[in-house]
């Protein structure tokens, strides 16, 4: 198999959660290639990150990110074999 570029949407537990801190905590666990904070609605922002991982590791990485304090949900937006 090969490596996959995965775009993930990381949703915080509440609008009061510091997304920069979440980004730092995620970066300690996995290598983040790119990230940005985007507004969703009613003051809620989401963290969008891009990672490159072996394709068999996608679910493990998703669960690892979900275990970060302050993260409510992790959604795969897209994935591309590279």
Question: pLDDT tens digits for 31-82?
Answer: 999 999 999 888 889 999 999 999 899 999 999 999 999 999 999 999 999 8
Split into its structural domains, the chain has a count of 1
Domain harbouring 43, CATH code: 3.30.70.60
pLDDT at 62: 92
Q: Domain range holding 34?
A: 3-81
CA 41 to mean position of chain CA atoms: 19
The pair of structure tokens assigned to 12 is: 């915080």
Residue 11 makes CB contacts below 8 A (sequence gap 6+) with 46, 71, 72, 73, 74, 75
**pTM of the complete model:** 0.89
The CA-CA-CA angle for residues 33, 50, 48, to 5°, reads 120
pLDDT of residue 42: 83
- Residue 1 in this model has a pLDDT that exceeds 80: no
pLDDT for the residue 41: 83
């Amino acid at each position: 198999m090969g490596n996959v570029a995965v775009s993930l949407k990381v949703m915080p537990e509440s609008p009061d959660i510091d997304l920069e801190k979440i980004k730092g905590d995620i970066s300690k666990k996995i290598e983040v290639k790119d990230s940005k904070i985007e507004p969703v609605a009613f003051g809620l922002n989401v963290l969008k990150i891009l990672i490159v991982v072996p394709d068999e590791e996608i679910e493990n990485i998703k669960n690892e990110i979900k275990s970060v304090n302050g993260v409510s949900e992790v959604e795969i937006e897209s994935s591309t074999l590279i």
